[in-house]
Structure 1
Amino acid sequence: MTFMMSNFLAVTGLSFVAVVLMMTVTAVEGRRQGRVSVVDTAWGLGFVVVAAVAALVGDGPLWRRLVMLVLVAAWGLRLSSHMHRRNAGKGEDPRYAAMLADQPGDPFLVAVRKVYAVQGLAVWFVSLPIQVSASSGRGLPFVAVIGALLWAVGLAFEALGDRQLASFKADPSNRGTVMDRGLWSWTRHPNYFGDSCVWWGIFLVAASAWPGVLTILSPVAMTYFLVFATGARLLERHMAERPGYQAYQQRTSYFLPRPPKRSVSRG
């Protein structure tokens, strides 16, 4: 069994249409609620939709299509559920508010152009390993196993980091302080680091069969989003003025986990 370009075009075309429809529904719901942050819930679901399309339309080995669907669904549904619970009953996310502030034109159309369309394209592009894998041949299963293991490490890191942060925020005595315990003492963004591992793992599953390795720009793009664009860097700007955060930055790794520094040097 070899890679079938015609089948890939069907998978990627239907995936693109499905993502456009989903982001359209998300934009309408965001307008109804008066907040763009509903897109955070749709983000993970978008990948699940693509994985479902790939599993149904692809003609690659059934085992790999099902593995992809399970991995992506477990990650995406957990993330969407977490984001929905976190944002429920709250107003606009300050990061989106800052992004859309003072923009000329209709606010809804600006949000469509700067948020919904951008995130929809990002979902489609980052999910290319899933799409290509669905149309690829048999490949090397042991590479897929390595990818699944890396995915498991990433999901555990992400889920545990989110749980630790939620528990920290639920304690009134921690109000106004910086979370620097558990995984958060090893990296300032354990959830984003875990997210990155998840997508490099999914890439390896795709790379187990030609031409999945050619989709390497997808996990690179996801890692870039997480580290420099809409993820960690944007959150750092938002947190910069919080008391104690600069000291936390000095003793804790930015992204890659490492043991925390024992003390902060003072000049």
Structure 2
Amino acid sequence: MSPLPAFLLTVLLAAAAKSAAWLLQRRTGNAGTVDAIWAWTLGGLAVVYALAGSAPPGLRVLLAAMGGLWGLRLGVYLWRRNHGHPEDWRYAQLRAAWGPQAQFRLFWFFQFQNLFTLLLAASAFLPVAYRASTPTAAALVLAMLIWTVAVAGEALADRQMRAFRAQPAHRGRVCRRGLWRYSRHPNYFFECLHWLAYVPLALGAPWGWVSLAAPAVMAFLLTRFSGLPLLERELARRKPGYAEYMRTTSALLPWFPKRREDEAHAPERDRLL
């Protein structure tokens, strides 16, 4: 299958997946399940491009495995986090703000998200699926190394946050444990890193440079559009200590935290005592 029909097929599949997500939220009253369907859809599109492409078979198998396993893991985590639980506050706010038109607007909001889904899939997966030659051994190793670090890092960050929230004593508190000590959003950092893993597989092929758009688009979505700006405003408003966490901890790139105000004044208090 040539690239254009393959792309049009992904458009139909993405639209169908988000329509199914909309029908599901109508039945459950929880729009948050769309997040899991988004991950599964993107992972599935990697498999679709791998099946439709003309690249060497081994490379297409690698593409399907990288994209498919990433989407499967993330989708299962998001489904377990959202299904059967209260609706994510972001969707709850949209539902309340839209009132009687909520269902109509949610449908088209889900379809609007497909613009970014299709852009990510086409930029990351299509150049790999349709390149004529296998990348160099160094490029293959680099891609698999980046992918492994990204997926393992995101899974670890998710596990650490889930374990923290599972403790009743931590309700309403800020998680500063594990990776969350060095980044306010380590899961977002590793998510951006994951999309960088396809670049070594695409570069050197015609239009391979397009793969650079995938990590850039994801970074934009998470840091400027619907990730950090909305989430951090809400957390700073309702979670004590989060403003201090923002002051001392890197937003995305893991780095050593600054000293907290209570720690900075500790030596002075000790001298007074």
The TM-score, its normalising length taken from structure 1, stands at 0.91
- Residue type at the aligned position of 1:30: Q
Say whether the 8 Å CA contact 1:188–1:249 is kept in structure 2. yes
Say whether the 8 Å CA contact 1:193–1:255 is kept in structure 2. yes
Say whether the 8 Å CA contact 1:11–1:57 is kept in structure 2. yes
In the alignment, which residue of structure 1 is the partner of 2:35? 40
In the alignment, which residue of structure 2 is the partner of 1:119? 113
SS in 2 for 1:28: helix
Alignment of 1:189-200 (within 5 A): 189-200=185-196
Q: Which has the larger displacement, 138-147 or 254-263? A: 138-147
Q: Which has the larger displacement, 34-43 or 158-167? A: 34-43
- Residue type at the aligned position of 1:188: R
Deviations 1:75-107 (A, max 9, x none): 111111101111121122111222344337621
**1:206 is the counterpart of 2:202:** yes
Identify which of 229, 240, 245 aligns with 2:242.
245
Alignment of 1:1-267 (within 5 A): 7-103=2-98, 106-114=101-109, 116-128=110-122, 129-141=124-136, 142-241=138-237, 242-264=239-261
The TM-score, its normalising length taken from structure 2, stands at 0.89
Deviations 1:120-144 (A, max 9, x none): 2211111112123211111532223
Between the aligned residues of both structures, percent identity stands at 32
In the alignment, which residue of structure 2 is the partner of 1:3? none
Cα gap change, 1:205/1:99 in structure 2, threshold over 3 Å: closer, same or farther?
farther
Deviations 1:181-229 (A, max 9, x none): 1100100001000100001112332235332212322321111112222
Say whether the 8 Å CA contact 2:128–2:208 is kept in structure 1. yes
Say whether the 8 Å CA contact 1:139–1:208 is kept in structure 2. no
- Residue type at the aligned position of 2:18: M
Say whether the 8 Å CA contact 2:33–2:83 is kept in structure 1. no
How far apart, in 2, do the equivalents of 1:57 and 1:135 lie? 9
Say whether the 8 Å CA contact 2:185–2:251 is kept in structure 1. yes
Deviations 1:123-171 (A, max 9, x none): 1111112123211111532223212211211112111100000111111
- Residue type at the aligned position of 2:159: R
Higher helix share: 2
- Structure 1 unaligned residues grouped into runs of 5+: 1-5
Tell me how many residue pairs correspond in the alignment: 260
Bigger CA radius of gyration? 2
**1:46 Cα deviation from its structure 2 partner:** 0.8
**Runs of 4 or more consecutive aligned structure 1 residues displaced over 3 Å after TM superposition:** 263-266
How far apart, in 2, do the equivalents of 1:30 and 1:79 lie? 19
- Residue type at the aligned position of 1:126: L
RMSD, matched Cα: 1.8
